[in-house]
Amino acid sequence: MKLRYRLKTIPLYARILIGMVLGIILGLAALALHGEQFITDWIKPWGELFIRLLQLIAVPLIFVTLVKGVAGLKEISRFSKLGGKTMLLYLAFIAASVVFGLILGSVISPGELVNQEVASTLQAKYESTIANQAATAIQVHSRGPLHFLQEIVPSNIVQAAASNSTILQVIFFAILFGVAALLVPEQQVRPVLALFEGLDGIIMKMVGFIIDAAPIGVTALMAALVTDFRGDVSVFSALGVYALTVIVGLLIIMYVFYPIIIRFFSRTKVKAFVRAMYPVQLFAFTTSSSAVTLPVTMKTLKEKLGISDETASFVLPVGVTVNMDGTSCYQAIAILFIAQVLGIELSLTQMLTILLMTILSSIGTPGIPGGSYVILAMVLTSVGIPPEGLALIIGIDRPLDMLRTAVNVTGDATVACMVDGK
């Protein structure tokens, strides 16, 4: 009990970083003592269990948050002009970030740095999934140009919800459901919305439990990564280049893209914006949660940048749920990296699916530490990449999570400055 209490007082990020280091030490020790089998039998399954939990929560999370998000847009109709503009800007920002991530990930191709031999071992391991995926790609090729619409519209929602690979269909149903709820008289729909409100609380609690288990998952996955690849340097240098690619992408969005937008499309001065946002970014960086940062973002924008109360209290909370530019850019690079390591060539259709899924699921990503793992597992499955590939990147994810959260909150603030007073 006491130990548990003490562990709880260590912040999550520190526990995850300790998990990372512990995993590496464990893996190296196993290599030195020839205990690889021990890691495979007794340690790795905990990491796999962690990934299963992430997959488990994906469908309920995305369904409930989307219905709640769309049905909650009633607020938007009150602010109709501001609301429409804000939503459009958010969607455009997310799309731009994903496209930027896809370009960066394809140009730098960090996954191709992995030694050919290691890559073929991995590919052999996931052979059946990859082969299925290739077969689907061929089928897709021989279908008509509008066939993708059938992939989005389910003929049976229970069947769609039964597989993580058809999550796009669940998203479609959730949006339709939410829109219909918006149009039914308030009195009639109130109990259903209250139910979703309650479900959202419960699911977020469950996500909290799973994220709390992240340090154990990270230790296990890191140890397995070291033994599975026998400390192969190419894997770790590829991971390093992958992390650098994400960092460069995020820094460009934060220090080049946003300032340009602020300069040309808002009345705020770039210098004042950068200066005011610095403490907010630092707060987001240390907490890794855009939701927790929200009050700080609001206060700063109102007090330091003179953004009106009305704009701040509408644009920012919506942004925390909908707009995650850092997360979107990161997801694109992470998906490409895993595909490259596993030797999966992504077709244009798959790239477009990634774009669409990332935009839509950005709305479903909770603004909490590691919120995007759940979504990433889901997007991977839906484009036919084995979600086990997540094991490659989760170990080193925490620092990237910190930086992408800082980008997420800066994106919300940028849009608030753009729409304020217009």
Binding site residues, ligand ASP, CB under 6 A: 288-290, 324, 327, 365, 367-372, 401, 404-405, 408
Minimum distance from residue 177 beta carbon to ligand ASP (Å)? 25
Instruction: Give whichever of 177 and 242 is closer to ligand ASP, judged by the CB atom.
Output: 242
Minimum distance from residue 343 beta carbon to ligand ASP (Å)? 27
Minimum distance from residue 403 beta carbon to ligand ASP (Å)? 10
Minimum distance from residue 369 beta carbon to ligand ASP (Å)? 5
Instruction: Give whichever of 219 and 405 is closer to ligand ASP, judged by the CB atom.
Output: 405
Cα separation, 378 vs 58, in Å, equals 7
Q: Cα–chain-centroid distance for residue 93?
A: 15
For the record, the structure tokens of 300 come out as 């700063």
Minimum distance from residue 406 beta carbon to ligand ASP (Å)? 9
Burial class (CB in 10 A: 0-12, 13-18, 19+), 22: middle
Instruction: Give whichever of 288 and 349 is closer to ligand ASP, judged by the CB atom.
Output: 288
Instruction: Give whichever of 133 and 365 is closer to ligand ASP, judged by the CB atom.
Output: 365
Minimum distance from residue 379 beta carbon to ligand ASP (Å)? 13
- Angle, nearest 10°, between helix axes 186-212 and 214-228? 50
Instruction: Give whichever of 130 and 322 is closer to ligand ASP, judged by the CB atom.
Output: 322
Minimum distance from residue 189 beta carbon to ligand ASP (Å)? 29
Instruction: Give whichever of 83 and 371 is closer to ligand ASP, judged by the CB atom.
Output: 371
**Tokens 């953004």 sit at which residue?**
307
For the record, the structure tokens of 55 come out as 């997959």
Q: What is the DSSP letter of 324?
A: -
Cα separation, 259 vs 26, in Å, equals 44
235 close to 337: Cβ distance less than 8 angstroms? no
101 close to 331: Cβ distance less than 8 angstroms? yes
Instruction: Give whichever of 314 and 373 is closer to ligand ASP, judged by the CB atom.
Output: 373
**CA quadruple 139, 143, 146, 152: dihedral sign:** negative
Cα separation, 167 vs 63, in Å, equals 9
Q: What is the DSSP letter of 184?
A: S
